[in-house]
Amino acid sequence: MSGDRREMRFGGLVDLGAGTPGELAAMLHRELTAILAEPATQEQVRKFGFVPVANRSIADLQAFVKSETVRWGQVVRDAGIAGSQ
């Protein structure tokens, strides 16, 4: 990986099962977004050394997880550690 720069991001997500009704997922997303937007919550997030990020839609989060799975899966394969649990 000479000259290759890898970037790692950390994020917290609430993962719901595939069969979760859309209305429930939307309600949880709405409520958690409101909580995370509160100044006191953002202050706590910063105290832990993290940077609060603007809200993403459910579709954006799903696309992010999919792209990160592909990206980090390739890192694992390139390092030769796939299946080494």
For residue 82, is pLDDT > 90? Answer: no
Q: Residue 75: which domain range?
A: 56-85
For residue 4, is pLDDT > 80? Answer: no
Residue 77 domain-assigned?
Answer: yes
Assess whether 37 and 27 both reside in one domain: yes
Assess whether 43 and 62 both reside in one domain: no
Of all residues in the chain, what percent are helix, strand and coil, respectively (each to 5)? 55, 0, 45
Q: Write the pLDDT tens digit of every residue in 11-47.
A: 677 888 889 999 999 999 999 889 988 999 999 988 9
> Considering its fold, how many domains does the chain have in total?
2
Assess whether 50 and 72 both reside in one domain: no
Residue 11 domain-assigned?
Answer: no
Residue 74 domain-assigned?
Answer: yes
Instruction: Give the tokens for residue 80.
Output: 């030769």
Q: Write the pLDDT tens digit of every residue in 41-76.
A: 999 988 988 887 767 888 888 898 899 889 889 889
C-alpha 19: how far from chain center: 20
Q: How would residue 1 be classed by pLDDT, with cut points 50, 70 and 90?
A: very low
- In this prediction the pTM is 0.64
Residue 5 domain-assigned?
Answer: no
Residue 3 domain-assigned?
Answer: no
Given this model, what pLDDT does residue 31 score?
92
Assess whether 63 and 79 both reside in one domain: yes
Given this model, what pLDDT does residue 6 score?
61
Distance (Å, whole) CA 72 – CA 27:
30
